[in-house]
Structure 1
Amino acid sequence: MATVFDVAKYILHKMGRISTWKLQKLCYYSQAWQLAWTGRSIFEENFEAWANGPVCPELFYEHRGMFAVGESDISRGDANNLSDDEKESIDIILKDYGELEPYTLRELSHKESPWKDARGNLPEGAKCQTVITKASMGEYYGSL
């Protein structure tokens, strides 16, 4: 199984330097739609319902302190660990979401039930480390 770092490397290879917010959201949507389309995860790492949307903590700690990242800024991962089918799925995500601004991706994720349900009744901006379950992602995006 690939890792979130493999997916991040692939996204950055295709898109070039992007904001860390955007990278997090593109990795999230890659995982979410893969779950919806196939019932399988691309990677094992989880996303948490942070104030600014879904965040994978392992990926966050890799790019912590940076506003934008390029492929060489992520020291772990190898896009070659992804199957052709996984790359094709990610390419669809990049086509559908890749041109959106980071703030737009943030706002979009805030309207969707996996993030909202994981946060519960927390006030806007409150710290949250609740995992957005893969089941909730697969169910929600699979219903669209």
Structure 2
Amino acid sequence: MLTCFDVAEYFLSKTEEDAGDVISNLKLQKLVYYAQGFCLAMYGRPLFNERIDAWQHGPVCPALYHKYKENGSLGIPAPTDVDFRKFSKEDSELMDEVYEVYGQFSAWKLRNMTHEEAPWKSTPIGSEISQASMAEFFKERLND
């Protein structure tokens, strides 16, 4: 089983810093949330076990937030030592698809998108967003 940190490193490894392509903590949180949601919907299992909470600015994995909070709103440097062997083909393809679809958006666009979605809207601020609510919502998204 992957951790939220593995998923984050996978997304961060896709940035091209030379091209000005960076991922802030806020954007990273949303990419990790979308990856978790689609994994639950498509495969009936979580991509990682760490919790995702409803915070003021949308879904947040607290453990991941605390790891990168010193970056503030700046881009997080791409990791240089990711072991891609730990990612199954299924998980890699899922994360590549999430990055292709959602990686193009700014952190604030992603934040605003999650504010319109049931898992965040139906969870009190500070509480955990249930995997069941994420699975249900993202299954509907797949069927649209």
TM-score by length of 2: 0.87
**Which residue is equivalent to 1:32?**
37
**Which residue is equivalent to 2:19?**
none
Cα distance in structure 2, aligned partners of 1:48 and 1:141: 17
CA RMSD of aligned residues (A): 1.7
Cα distance in structure 1, aligned partners of 2:89 and 2:38: 16
**Which residue is equivalent to 1:53?**
58
1:98-113 pair list within 5 angstroms: 98-113=103-118
Aligned-pair CA distance for 1:118: 0.6
The partner residue of 1:88 within 80, 85, 93 is: 93
Indicate the percent of aligned positions where both proteins have the same amino acid.
38
Cα distance in structure 1, aligned partners of 2:103 and 2:4: 17
1:1-144 pair list within 5 angstroms: 1-16=1-16, 17-66=22-71, 67=73, 68-72=75-79, 78-119=83-124, 128-144=125-141
Aligned-pair CA distance for 1:78: 4.9
Is 2:50–2:63's contact at 8 Å kept on the other side of the alignment?
yes
Is 2:33–2:59's contact at 8 Å kept on the other side of the alignment?
yes
- Structure number with the higher strand fraction is 1
User: Which amino acid is the alignment partner of residue 11 of structure 2?
Assistant: I
SS at match of 1:46: coil
Aligned-pair CA distance for 1:65: 2.2
Is 2:12–2:78's contact at 8 Å kept on the other side of the alignment?
yes
The unaligned stretches of length 5 or more in structure 1 are 120-127
User: Which amino acid is the alignment partner of residue 56 of structure 2?
Assistant: A
Cα distance in structure 2, aligned partners of 1:21 and 1:8: 12
SS at match of 2:14: helix
Is 1:5–1:78's contact at 8 Å kept on the other side of the alignment?
no
The unaligned stretches of length 5 or more in structure 2 are 17-21
